[in-house]
Amino acid sequence: MEKINVLFVCLGNICRSPLAEAIFTKMVEEKGLSDQINIDSAGTANYHIGERPDPRTIDNARANGVELLSRARQFVSADFELYDYIIPMDDSNLQNIIKLKPDSGIHNYKVIKMRKFDPEQKGADVPDPYYGGAQGFQNVFDILKRSNEHFIEHLLNEHNF
């Protein structure tokens, strides 16, 4: 069976999307689905390419039992070919992604905002915690955990694992 490829996207790829990647990876492992689902994250901006996630994100995630292992990379047009689900954190990321969509054969439907899967404030942005305080990082963690619990249920319903 072909793997399902999931890509989480934010602006810098150092706060929200690497956290979404790590939380989702842990959930997929716990469900025994690691062989079926391939997971990555990227940023639409080039500011932090090659960097580890923001230390505040790393510390907050660790306090919640999640380890972040990624390095930042930039979202590229070719990701549209490689990924089945492209999950932006906010409307700005979504618009930046759509601008890079290749002309032929690829549809917008595979791009789905993270909080479309959040029953609380469905479809809202995942707020950018970069310029805020510690509480912002825990808020993002809680949003991403809840959203990803519903996202994985969506995948289980759509695919026969």
Catalytic residues: 10, 16, 128
Cβ atoms of 87 and 6 within 8 Å: the answer is yes
Crossing angle for the helix pair 134-158 and 55-63, to the nearest 10 degrees = 70
Reduced DSSP (H G I as helix, E B as strand, rest coil) percent helix, strand, coil of the chain, to 5: 45, 10, 45
The residue range among 6-14, 23-31, 111-119, 141-149 that interacts with ligand 4NP, by the rule CB under 6 A, is 6-14
Q: By Cβ distance, which residue is nearest to ligand 4NP?
A: 12
Question: Is 130 a binder of ligand 4NP (CB under 6 A)?
Answer: yes
Identify the residue among 13, 25, 60, 70 touching ligand 4NP (CB under 6 A): 13
At residue 59, what is the residue type?
D
Question: Is 161 a binder of ligand 4NP (CB under 6 A)?
Answer: no
Q: Which is nearer to ligand 4NP, 4 or 140 (CB)?
A: 140
At residue 76, what is the residue type?
V
Q: How far apart are CA 147 and CA 151, in angstroms?
A: 6
Question: Is 41 a binder of ligand 4NP (CB under 6 A)?
Answer: no
Here the tokens at position 10 are 């934010």
Question: Is 15 a binder of ligand 4NP (CB under 6 A)?
Answer: yes
- Residues at the contact surface with ligand 4NP, assessed by CB under 6 A: 10-16, 43, 47, 128, 130
